[in-house]
Amino acid sequence: MARPAQLITPKGKKIDLPPEVYRQVRQLLAARSRRRSRAKLDQAIRATYGKYAGGASLTQALLAERAAERARDVAKLARLHG
């Protein structure tokens, strides 16, 4: 037999929760956790927004790196198939 969910108060009192109330509490806690995660993400985005503006384009550097990698692969295949 499954034990009922219990809420323990700051004073240590235990309160049995009906299954439906327990589900509602879990939903509230999950929503709170998602809001906190979203807030942390938003804060990180705001903190780094524009940090690399005016410098070298990271997108262009990535594209150049991928093009060089493709060229190496083509050359390697050409050597293998001679």
- Report residue 79's pLDDT band, with 50, 70 and 90 as the boundaries: very high
| pLDDT tens readout for residues 9-62 | 889 999 998 989 889 988 988 888 888 888 888 888 888 888 878 888 888 999
CA–CA separation, 21 vs 17, rounded Å?
6
- Report residue 63's pLDDT band, with 50, 70 and 90 as the boundaries: very high
**Region of residue 12 (left: phi > 0; alpha: psi -120 to 50; beta: else):** left
Q: What pLDDT does residue 64 have? A: 96
Q: Which residues of 3-29 are buried (b: 16+ CB within 10 A; e: fewer)?
A: eeeeeeeeeeeeeeeeeeeeeeeeeee
Per-domain residue ranges for the chain?
A: 1-51, 54-82
Tell me how far CA of residue 34 lies from CA of 8, 27, 28, 38, 41, in angstroms: 23, 11, 10, 6, 11
